[in-house]
């Protein structure tokens, strides 16, 4: 039996500044080509720039709590999730699923998921989905090529990491989740993935041919955390 493929689709790919229609078109074609081969997917969307803009506006005009900011983030990524659901409508479940710890019904081969409650990012929801369907791997798509040992925007000598253990990965990211945290895979989700024995692959989703290599089990550019 084919394992369900879990994809965490970063909002930075859906809406880097404005909606990236070219990426969405290519992503749709790729996913539907694998569905035609009998594959099943759970795709969880992030909020991206849209989320951060709304959160920044809230911080400028009020004094929002962390939970307030999380709810704004959840609303923004729900919008992204509905867009992906409609784009893949012919093969996607008719509703976006918010609680991915519930039993999932594959009446269609694609399920689109979004966040359920404050306190973590959609990375955590991706791990919940993997746990629910028994998947042992998550493909995390964002706008970065690799995980680095430090922030490459600050440290020009930052080294890319091709493979790392969960124990070592947890040492190089912030220890706690805060709303809007910019981390390749968030700490809460990482701890749960480590506990469940789930591998996470981080790669740049903009490179569709590289994603295809990953889906085919071929050598690809990215970081494996396990």
pLDDT of residue 136: 94
User: CA geometry: angle at 130 spanning 6 and 102, to 5°?
Assistant: 115
pLDDT of residue 173: 85
Cβ–Cβ < 8 Å for 128, 58: no
Cβ–Cβ < 8 Å for 137, 198: yes
Task: Examine the pLDDT at 1 and tell me if it is beyond 60.
Answer: no
pTM for the full model?
Answer: 0.93
Total domains in the chain come to: 1
- In angstroms and rounded to an integer, the radius of gyration of the C-alpha atoms of the chain is 17
Domain holding 37: CATH number? 3.40.1160.10
Average pLDDT over residues 82-86: 98
Residue with tokens 């999730």: 81
Structural domain span for residue 186: 5-225
- Residue 62: Cβ within 10 Å count: 9
């Amino acid at each position: 039996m084919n394992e369900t493929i879990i994809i965490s689709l970063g909002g930075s790919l859906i809406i880097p500044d404005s909606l990236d229609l070219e990426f969405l078109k290519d992503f749709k074609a790729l996913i539907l080509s694998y569905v035609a081969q009998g594959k099943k997917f759970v795709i969880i969307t992030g909020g991206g720039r849209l989320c951060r803009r709304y959160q920044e506006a809230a911080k400028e005009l009020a004094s929002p709590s962390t939970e307030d900011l999380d709810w704004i983030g959840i609303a923004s990524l729900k919008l992204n999730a509905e867009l992906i659901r409609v784009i893949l409508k012919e093969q996607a479940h008719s509703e976006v699923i918010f609680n991915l710890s519930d039993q999932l019904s594959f009446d269609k081969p694609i399920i689109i998921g979004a966040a359920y409650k404050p306190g973590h990012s959609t990375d955590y929801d991706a791990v919940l989905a993997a746990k629910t369907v028994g998947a042992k791997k998550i493909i995390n798509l964002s706008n970065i090529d690799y995980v680095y040992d430090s922030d490459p925007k600050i440290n020009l000598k930052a080294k890319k990491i091709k493979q790392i253990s969960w124990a070592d990965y947890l040492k190089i990211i912030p220890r706690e989740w805060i709303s809007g945290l910019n981390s390749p895979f968030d700490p809460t989700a990482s701890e749960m993935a480590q506990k469940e024995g789930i591998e996470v692959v981080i790669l740049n989703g903009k490179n569709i041919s590289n994603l295809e290599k990953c889906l085919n089990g071929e050598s690809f550019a990215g970081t494996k955390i396990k």
